[in-house]
Structure 1
Amino acid sequence: MNDLASDITKWLMQRPAWQQEAVERQLKKGDLSDSDIDEIASMLKSSTGPIPSTTPTFSGLQGVGQNSEALRLVSIGDIQGIESLKPFRPLDFGEGNLSVIYGHNGSGKSGYTRILKRICGHPRANQLRHNIFEAPPEKKQCTVIYQVDSDIHEEVWHADSDPIDRLRVVDIFDSEAATFYLSSETDVTYTPPQIALFEQLSDTCNRVKALLKREQGELVVALPRIPAEYVSTPTAISYQSQSLHKLPAAVINDLKSWTQSEQKNLDDLLYRLKTPDPAAVARQKRQIKVHVDQLVSRIMASSEALGAEQIQGIRNKQQDALTKRRIATEAVKVQSAQLNGVGTETWRALWEAARKYSIGEAYPGREFPATNEGDRCVLCHQDLGPDARKRLQEFDASIRGTLESAASNAEETYTKALERLPTWMTSVEITAVCTAALDDSWAPVLTEFWAQVQLSCKRLKLGDPQEQAMPIATPAENIERLQSYSDTLEAVALQFDQDASQFDREKAADIKLNLEAKRWTAQQESSIDEEIVRCKKVAQYDKWIASTNPQAISKKAGELAQIAITEAYVQRFNAELGSLGAEHIRVTLNKTRTNHGVVMHKLQLAGASTTPSVSLVDVLSEGERRIISLAAFLADVGDKPHIAPFIFDDPISSLDHDYEWRVALRLSQLARDRQVLIFTHRLSLFGAVEEAAKKMGDSWKKDNLVQRFIRVYQGISGHPTEEVVASANTKKANNILLERLNQAISAGSKNGPEAYERDAQVICTEFRKLLERTVEDDLLNQVVKRHRRSVQTDNRLGALSCITPKDCQLIDGLMTKYSAFEHSQSSETPVRIPEGDELRADLDRL
C-alpha cells in the first residue's frame, strides 16, 4: 500500500491547486462541509487555482481510513406503528457473536429486517408502513440499543427520520440484495481508503460544479426581450446571440448606434413604402427643388449685389453724378442771366417742361427754344426781344454742351444702378416658400436675411442720408444646406423614378424592419453593455465548470482500482464460491467501468456461447442464483475494516441441504470476528448453525451462539418467546414439557378438568414430536437426521452399540401411545388424555 500511496501522491502533485486543497481537507476532515466547498470553489476561480502547487504533502494518505471501533446491535423494541410489529418486550440479540432468530412465516422476521435496513441507511431499504388493517398510528418509532466498544447507546428512532449514522456500517443480506447482486452493476461496498479518496474527490468536483452552476444561474440576462416583429431581422439575430461578447466590435457598436443618416433612410423607406404613385412623388420633389433652387439663386444674387464692393460702386456712381451735375450747373450760368439758380435741378426741370410745351403745344414741329421774330415766351407769353432771344439761345447752347451731357449720363448710370438693386422677399413670400418647399424653421432665417437686404437697399436709394448701407455677407452655411436639400430632392426624385419602374417592396420592407430593429437596439445601449459583461462572466464560469470534469480522476481511479479493488474483489468472490461449495457454477465477476471515481462490477456467465446480454436469471436455477448472490455479497462486504454486524434474512431460501450446511459453516466463521444475526423460518438452518457452532469449539459455541424465537399472537407479530420444544435439544425440550405439565395440573385444580385437558392435549402433541427427535439425536446419536442429507459417523457410531432392546421397546411404546395426538383418529376410538401423574411418569421415563 505504500507504493500505492506514493503513486497517488505523485499523481496528485500534478493536479490543479484547488483539487490538491480538496484532497488535503478530505484527508484531515473526511466529509467536506458546504463552507469547504465554497472556499475550494473560490480557490478554483483565483489566478493560482488552476496551477499545480508544490507545497502539499498529502501525509494523511498512509493512515487514512483506519477504524478500530467495534459495533454491536444489542436489541430493538418498543415498536409502535411500524409494520405489524408490537412485541411485548424487546428482541434481545444477546452477548454472543452468532444470533439465530427463528420464527414461522408471518412471525415478523422480515419486519425486523425492514426496520433495521431503514435504521442502518441501507440503499435499497423500502418505506416502512403501518399495519394496514388498523387505523394510522400517532407514532411510528422504535427503540434501538447498540454498543460501540464498551459504550451502550439507546436511541428512539422515528420511522420517517434519517438513519442512525453510527449504524450505517451494518451490512444486510436479504432477497432484494440477492436480486441486486445478480442483475445490477455494483460498486464495491468497501473500497481501500486511498482509492475511496478518488471517489470522494470526484464527488467534491461535482459539488463544486453544482455550486458554480448555481452561481452561473444567478447571472440573469440583462437584455430586454426584443419585440416579436423584429426577431427574424439580422440585427435581432446579433442582439439575441448567446455569444454576444464574442461578436466583432463593429457589430456591437452597430447595435448600439443610431445615426441621422439611418433615421433619414428609415423615413425615406417609410415614405416610399406608403407611396402608391412614385412617379407623381418624383414630379412633386422636382417642383419643390425648383423653388429651392430659385431661392438659392435669389439669395446669392442679393448677396452679390449688396457686397461691399458693389455698394461702394453705387456710392461711386452717386458721387460721380453729383460732381458732374455741379460742373454742368456752373457752366449754365451765362452772363446774360438776370436771376440766380440758373442750371439748378429746379431750373432744369422748368426748362425741360418748357421744352415739352413748346414742341408739343406752342410751336409744334419747331425746335426749342423758338426765337424767331415775333415768337413769344412759352412761360410768360410776352414777345421776345433781342435780349430775350439771345439769352434763350445761350441757355440752349449751354444745355446742349459736353458738360451737361456728362452730367446727364452720370445721373442715368447712377439711377440704373439703383434700379438694379435686388428686391427683397416680403413676409407673404417667405411664408409661401416655406410652405411650398421648406419648413417653418426657415422663416426666421429668411426674414432676418431679407430684412438686411431691404435696409441696405433703402439706404442706398436714399443716398445714405444718415446711416450708410451695410454690405450683405453671403450666408454660406444656409446656402450649403439649401443646395444639399436640393440635391436630396433630386436623389429622392430619381429614387422614386426608379421605384416607379422596379421597386422591390418586399426587400424594402425587410430593410425598413431591420432599421427599426436597429433603432430599438440602440435604445438598449446600457443593457447591451451589461449583457456583454454578463456573457463574459458566463463564459468564464463555463471554463471553471469544465475544469471540474472528473474524467481524469475516474481514469486514474480505474488504473489503481484494477489492482487494489478489482483483482482483490474477484479473488474474494472466487474464494467465497469455494467456501460455499459453488465453485462449479460457471459465473465470473467482471469490472465493467469506472464512473466518477467509482469502480463498477457485474456478475456474468463464464464461457457462454451466446451474447453477453444473456442474464444470469435466465440460465441459473433459483438455488444457484441465491448461492451466487450470497458469495457476491460476502466478497463485497467481507473485507471491510469496520467491526460491524452482518444481518441475514433467510439466507438459505431455495438452497438444498448441502448448500445450507455450507452457508451455516461460513456464517459461523464470520461470527469469529463480528456479530452475525440470522433470521430464518427453517428449523434445518436453525439446527445447522448449532452444528456449525460446535465445530468452532464447545466453549466458543457456549460464549457466542444465541438462539431467539419470535411468534405471532392475535395478529400482532414479532413477539420474542421462550425456546420452543421443536427447536430445543431433547433434554431441554423434555424439561420444558414437564414445566408445562405442572402449569396444566395447576390450571385443572383451579378451573376444573377442562382446563387441564386443553393444555395437556398440546403437551401430548409436543411430546409425540419430541419422541421423533429423540430417535435422531439420542438413540441414533445424530448419525442421520431428517433435515440433513449426509450421514455423519465422526465419533458417533460407537455409541450405537449401547442401544438395547429395552430402549427400543421404550421408544416404540411411547411412540404408539402418543401417535393419536399427532395423527387424526377414528371417532369410534376416542383418544384419552393421560392423567397428570401418568403423563409425568412418561416424561420422566424418557
Structure 2
Amino acid sequence: MVDWALEQPAWVSDCLRRIALAADNLLEDQEFETIAASVRHAAGAGPAPAESLPISASHIGAGTSEQRRTVLAQLGPVQHIDRLAPEQRLRMAPEGITLVYGENGSGKSGYTRIAKRLCRSLSADQLRGNVFASGTAGPMRVEVRYRVGDDDVSTLDWDPSSAAPAILRQISVFDSHNARLYVDGENRIAYLPRELAILEHHGDLCQRLGQRFGTDEKQLATRMKVPLPAGYTPGTAATAMLARLDAKSASLPSEDDLRSLAALTEEEQQELVSLAAELASDPVAMAAVCRRGVTLLTRVAEVFDLLDTELSQGVGDALCEARKEFDAAAQAARLSASGEFGAEPIPGVGGDAWRVLFEAARAFATNGTEPQSERLPDAEGDLCLLCLEPLSPSAAMRLARFNAFVRSDAARRSDAARDRLKTLTDKVAAATVPAGDVVADSLAAYGALAEDRATLVQQITDMISQFTARRGSLLNSALPSVAALSAAEILSRIRNECDLLEAEAAGLHSSASHASVLDAKRARLSELKDRQKLAHDLQTVLQRRSDAVAHRALGNCIAQVATRAISTQITALRKMLVTEELQKRILEEIRAFELSHIPFTVSDSSSGGQSLFSVGLKGAGKIKTNQILSEGEQRALALACFLAEIGGDDARYGIIVDDPVSSLDHLRVRKVAQRLVAEAAKGRQVIIFTHNIVFFNEVVSEAARLGGATPLVKSIVRKTEADGFGVIEENSEPWVADLNARLTDLRTRVGELGSLTDFDTAAYRRLAKDFYSDLRESWERAVEELVLAKTVVRFVPDVMTARLKEVSVTDEDYKTIHFAMKRASERSGHDMSAGRDIPQPMPTEMAADLKVLDDFRIDYAKRRKAVSAVRTALEQPVQAGLI
C-alpha cells in the first residue's frame, strides 16, 4: 500500500497517514476539513496545507486502535427498555461459554437487542420503552460493564441515543435478522488486515468529499445558466474575452485582464467622446446601431411570442381547473386515509408528506435502473426500504394496506390530479421572463435614435413587468389574479420596427464611405464603447469568472476523490490478503454443517472503496438464496458465513449468538453446539441465548466433554408475576433440570407456603396447582433419571444401552409411582368435577407428598448400586475352578 500511495497525489498519502494514526481509523472533523483543503490545493483551488507528510511502513503498524481483547462482563440494570424488569444484571463469563436460556416471551430478546446496539451487528434494532403502557416513561438507560485486556472492569451508564464505545464492536452478534442479511445480502468483510482497513476508511472519506464537492458543483452550474449581459459588438476584445468566461474554456481570462480591459484612461475617455461626436452622423455607426436594434428587438419579439402562449388565458383556465380537481381528489383521499389509517400510531398516514416518503421508497427500490413498481415489498421477511430490517408479520400487513391504499381509486385520482397540476405548474415555472432593467439597458442606444423609439422601449419594459406579475399569479393562487395579456399589438409594432431598421441600415451602409482611416475609427469607437459597457457590467462579469473558476476547481476536486483507483487497489490487496482465506473458511464452515450437497459459490467485489462478499448458488442466476433453500439450510448457511467472517480475527474477539438453531434438524443442532463450543475452546468469549432445550443440553454436553478448555455458566431469563419480564436467575437451569434441582425448588416453595394463614384464596389455589403440576413433572423426571437410569433421555438423541444394568423395577416401585402420580394429577392437570370438590391441600400435605418422592429417590439410588454390581458381574466370564 505504501508504494501505491507514493504514486498518488501528495494529499492521498497524507490522508492515509492521518487515518493510520487516528483512533479506530476515524478522522476528527478538523482533520476532515484539512484533507478537504488539501484536495482543493491539489485541484488548483486553494493554498497549500500547513502540514502534509507521506505515509510510511512505520505508520501502518503505529495505529492507536485498541488491539487488546475486549470482553463483555454485564448488561443491566436496564431502565425503561422493552418491559425488562429493573435491577436485573445479566453477567457474562469472560472465558468460555455463557449459556442463557429463556422461553418465548421471557424477555430474552430484549437483552439481545441491547447487545446488537452495543456490539457489531449487520442490523441494529430500535430500542423502545414499554409500548403497552400509557404515558411517557423515563429515559432509557443500560449499565454496561466490560473489560479491555487486563485492565480493571469499566462501568458505563449508557444512553441508547448516544454512540456505544467503539471498542465493544470487537464483539460480533448473530441473530435471525442478521441471518437473512448473510443469506441474501452483500456483506462487508468485517475483519480486515490493517492496510485494507486504512484504504476502506480512505474510500469512505473520498465518498464524503465527493458528495460535498458534487453538491457545490450543482449549485454553481445552476447559477451559471443565467445569461451574461448582451449588447456587445461582435469582433471586439470585450466580446472575445466574455466568450472565454466558461468553465470548459481552455483559457479563462484573469481578473486583472478583465479589470484592465474595463478601465478606460482619461485619454481613452476623451477619445471615446471625440470619436462619438465625430462619427455621430456616420452612416456605418448608425447602421450598426440599427442592426443591433434589429437583433435585440427580434429576441424581444421571440420572448413575447413565447410568453403570450405560455401564460395565455387557456393555460390559466387549465391551471385553475387542475387546482380545483386536485383539491377535490386530495380531500377524498384524505377522507379515505383517515378512515383506513386513523388508528395508526403516527397521524398523517396517507397525506402529502407521507406520500413523499412512499414515492421516495419506490424510487429507491429500483435505484433508477428498472421500471418503478407500484408496490413496496410487503411480504413477511422482505426488507423494509426505510430501515432495511426484515418485515415482521404486523409490518408486512401494514405495508400491504399501504400498497392497497396507494392503488385505490381515491389515491389514483389524487395522484393523477397532482401529476396534472404539477405538469401545468412546471410549464408555467419554466416560462422565463427577462429582467426589465437589463432589456432597457440593452435597448438604450436604439431608444436614443428617436422619441417614438424611446416610447417603444418603455412599452416593452412595461409589458415585461405585466408578464412577470401574470406568471407570479399563475404559480401562486394566493397572489392577486392578473388577467391574461395579449402581446399581439406590441409584437406587430416590433416587427414593423425591425423592417424599418433593416431598411435604414441598408440605406446607411450603401451611402457610407469605407476609407480605411474611417473604418479604423469606427472599429476603435466600438472597442471603446464595449470597454465602457464592460466597466458597467464588471461586477456581474467578475462574479461569472469566479463561478467558472470555482466550477472548474470543483470538477478537478471530484476527479481527485474518485474511488475507482482505491477500489482497484483494494481488490488487488483483498485477493492477496483476504479473499482466498475467507472463501476457504466459508467453504470449510459449509462442510462442517453438512451443506456440501448444495453447490455454493463465494464471490467478492469492491464498491465505493468498500470490500464486499456474497454467497450464492451456482447456476441459479439472480434467484435469491431464500427462494431455494429451506429455513434450516438458510440458518445453517448464515451461521457458516458468520463464523467464517469472524474467523480471521485470530479467535480473540467475542461472539453473541441468539437462537442459532431455529428450524434446524437434530443432526445440525448438535453440529452447531459443537462449533460454538469449539470457538470457546480457542479462547473466545462465547455468549449464547436460546429457547431450545435440546440445543441447551447439547452445548452443556459438549462443554463437559472438553472439560477445562470450555468453562460454562448457565443463566435463566424468566417472566414472573412479581417482577415481569427479563428476570435473571444466575447459575441456574431450566425447570427441566435434574431431579435434585427440582426437589430443592419444591422444598423452597413448600416452606414459603407454610407461612401463609389464608388457604381459601384464588392466589393460594394457583400456587397449590402449580406445585402439584411441577411435582407430577418431577415424578416423570424421576422415571427417566432414576428408574430408567437415563437410558433414554428426553431432548438427547442417543440411547445409552449400557445404563440398563442399573434398571430394576419392582411391583412396589410401580405401586409407589402409580399412586403418587394419581394424587399429583388430580390436583393439577385436570378439571375437577363439581361432585368431587376435594379440599385444598395444606402445606403439610404438600410436604408429605414431596417426601414420598424424596424417599423414593434415596431408596432407589441405594438399590441401583446393588443391581449395578450384580450386573457388572454378569459382564465377566464365569470363574473356572482349579483342582
Structure 1 length-normalised TM: 0.62
Residue in 1 that maps onto 2:123:
124
Residue 100 of structure 1 deviates from its aligned partner by 2.1
Distance in 1 separating the partners of 2:814 and 2:240? 106
Residue 178 of structure 1 deviates from its aligned partner by 0.7
Cα deviation code 1:303-324 (max 9, x no counterpart)? xxxxxxxxxxxxxxxxxxxxxx
Q: Tell me, yes or no, if structure 1 residue 495 matches structure 2 residue 507.
A: yes
Residue in 2 that maps onto 1:775:
783
Distance in 2 separating the partners of 1:791 and 1:244? 79
Distance 1:769 1:96, change over 3 A: farther
Among 704, 721, 743, the residue aligned to 1:713: 721
The farther-off stretch of 719-728 and 212-221 is: 212-221
Residue in 2 that maps onto 1:14:
7
Q: Do 2:185 and 2:614's aligned partners in 1 also have CA atoms closer than 8 Å?
A: yes
Q: Do 2:16 and 2:202's aligned partners in 1 also have CA atoms closer than 8 Å?
A: yes
Q: Do 2:146 and 2:155's aligned partners in 1 also have CA atoms closer than 8 Å?
A: yes
Distance 1:539 1:95, change over 3 A: closer
Residue in 1 that maps onto 2:608:
596
Distance 1:249 1:768, change over 3 A: closer
**Letter in structure 2 aligned against 1:695:** R
Distance 1:840 1:271, change over 3 A: closer
Q: How does 1:71-470 map to 2 (within 5 A)?
A: 71-94=70-93, 97-120=96-119, 122-134=121-133, 135-149=135-149, 150-209=151-210, 226=227, 242-243=246-247, 245-246=249-250, 264-265=286-287, 267-269=289-291
**Letter in structure 1 aligned against 2:132:** F
Residue in 2 that maps onto 1:803:
808
Distance in 2 separating the partners of 1:272 and 1:586? 77
Cα deviation code 1:403-428 (max 9, x no counterpart)? xxxxxxxxxxxxxxxxxxxxxxxxxx
Distance 1:19 1:244, change over 3 A: closer
Q: Do 1:590 and 1:601's aligned partners in 2 also have CA atoms closer than 8 Å?
A: yes
Q: Do 2:245 and 2:544's aligned partners in 1 also have CA atoms closer than 8 Å?
A: no
Distance 1:519 1:613, change over 3 A: farther
Q: Do 2:714 and 2:733's aligned partners in 1 also have CA atoms closer than 8 Å?
A: no
In structure 1, the residue corresponding to 2:105 is in which secondary structure?
coil
Distance in 2 separating the partners of 1:787 and 1:556? 52
Q: Tell me, yes or no, if structure 1 residue 692 matches structure 2 residue 702.
A: yes
Residue 783 of structure 1 deviates from its aligned partner by 3.9
In our comparison, the structure showing a higher alpha carbon Rg is: 1
In structure 1, the residue corresponding to 2:14 is in which secondary structure?
helix
Cα deviation code 1:271-296 (max 9, x no counterpart)? 89999xxxxxxxxxxxxxxxxxxxxx
Distance in 1 separating the partners of 2:96 and 2:140? 29
**Letter in structure 1 aligned against 2:130:** N
Distance in 2 separating the partners of 1:816 and 1:97? 44
Residue 28 of structure 1 deviates from its aligned partner by 2.8
Q: Do 2:787 and 2:807's aligned partners in 1 also have CA atoms closer than 8 Å?
A: no
In structure 1, the residue corresponding to 2:88 is in which secondary structure?
coil
Cα deviation code 1:586-618 (max 9, x no counterpart)? 323222x21133221112113x3x5x1111111
Distance 1:695 1:220, change over 3 A: same
In structure 2, the residue corresponding to 1:572 is in which secondary structure?
helix
Distance 1:631 1:273, change over 3 A: closer
Among 643, 648, 651, the residue aligned to 1:639: 648
Residue in 1 that maps onto 2:19:
26
Unaligned runs of 5+ in 2: 265-271, 298-502, 512-527, 858-883
Distance 1:522 1:744, change over 3 A: same
**Letter in structure 2 aligned against 1:625:** Q
Q: Do 1:585 and 1:624's aligned partners in 2 also have CA atoms closer than 8 Å?
A: no
Residue 97 of structure 1 deviates from its aligned partner by 3.0
Distance in 1 separating the partners of 2:62 and 2:817? 65
Residue 761 of structure 1 deviates from its aligned partner by 2.9
Distance in 1 separating the partners of 2:252 and 2:767? 100
Residue 9 of structure 1 deviates from its aligned partner by 3.4
Residue in 2 that maps onto 1:744:
753
Residue 844 of structure 1 deviates from its aligned partner by 1.5
Residue 675 of structure 1 deviates from its aligned partner by 2.0
In structure 1, the residue corresponding to 2:737 is in which secondary structure?
coil
In structure 2, the residue corresponding to 1:648 is in which secondary structure?
strand
Cα deviation code 1:116-159 (max 9, x no counterpart)? 22233645213222212221213122222222234212111223
Distance in 1 separating the partners of 2:54 and 2:541? 44
Distance 1:109 1:119, change over 3 A: same
Distance in 1 separating the partners of 2:533 and 2:668? 82
In structure 2, the residue corresponding to 1:190 is in which secondary structure?
coil
Among 833, 852, 873, the residue aligned to 1:842: 852
Q: Do 2:651 and 2:684's aligned partners in 1 also have CA atoms closer than 8 Å?
A: no
Cα deviation code 1:397-452 (max 9, x no counterpart)? xxxxxxxxxxxxxxxxxxxxxxxxxxxxxxxxxxxxxxxxxxxxxxxxxxxxxxxx
Distance in 2 separating the partners of 1:222 and 1:825? 83
Residue 172 of structure 1 deviates from its aligned partner by 1.0
Distance 1:223 1:180, change over 3 A: closer
Q: Do 1:83 and 1:111's aligned partners in 2 also have CA atoms closer than 8 Å?
A: yes
Say how many residue pairs are matched. 596
Residue in 2 that maps onto 1:824:
830
In structure 2, the residue corresponding to 1:746 is in which secondary structure?
coil
Q: Do 2:747 and 2:847's aligned partners in 1 also have CA atoms closer than 8 Å?
A: no
Residue in 2 that maps onto 1:727:
736
**Letter in structure 2 aligned against 1:768:** R
Q: Do 1:178 and 1:626's aligned partners in 2 also have CA atoms closer than 8 Å?
A: yes
Distance 1:817 1:578, change over 3 A: farther
**Letter in structure 2 aligned against 1:100:** L
In structure 1, the residue corresponding to 2:656 is in which secondary structure?
strand
Cα deviation code 1:207-237 (max 9, x no counterpart)? 5545666887898999895589999x99899
The farther-off stretch of 530-539 and 17-26 is: 530-539
In structure 1, the residue corresponding to 2:755 is in which secondary structure?
helix
Distance in 2 separating the partners of 1:626 and 1:559? 32
Distance 1:42 1:803, change over 3 A: same
Among 573, 578, 602, the residue aligned to 1:565: 578
Distance 1:649 1:546, change over 3 A: same
Residue in 1 that maps onto 2:600:
587
Among 590, 614, 622, the residue aligned to 2:623: 614
**Letter in structure 2 aligned against 1:581:** E
Q: Tell me, yes or no, if structure 1 residue 655 matches structure 2 residue 661.
A: no
Residue in 1 that maps onto 2:768:
760
Q: Do 2:632 and 2:665's aligned partners in 1 also have CA atoms closer than 8 Å?
A: yes
Q: Do 2:820 and 2:849's aligned partners in 1 also have CA atoms closer than 8 Å?
A: no
Distance in 1 separating the partners of 2:651 and 2:697? 29
Residue 721 of structure 1 deviates from its aligned partner by 3.9
Distance in 1 separating the partners of 2:509 and 2:95? 110
Structure 2 length-normalised TM: 0.59
**Letter in structure 1 aligned against 2:119:** C
Distance in 2 separating the partners of 1:831 and 1:240? 107
Q: Do 2:241 and 2:253's aligned partners in 1 also have CA atoms closer than 8 Å?
A: no
Residue 720 of structure 1 deviates from its aligned partner by 1.9
In structure 2, the residue corresponding to 1:130 is in which secondary structure?
coil
Distance in 2 separating the partners of 1:550 and 1:171? 28
**Letter in structure 1 aligned against 2:781:** R
Residue in 1 that maps onto 2:301:
none
**Letter in structure 1 aligned against 2:647:** G
Distance 1:784 1:540, change over 3 A: same
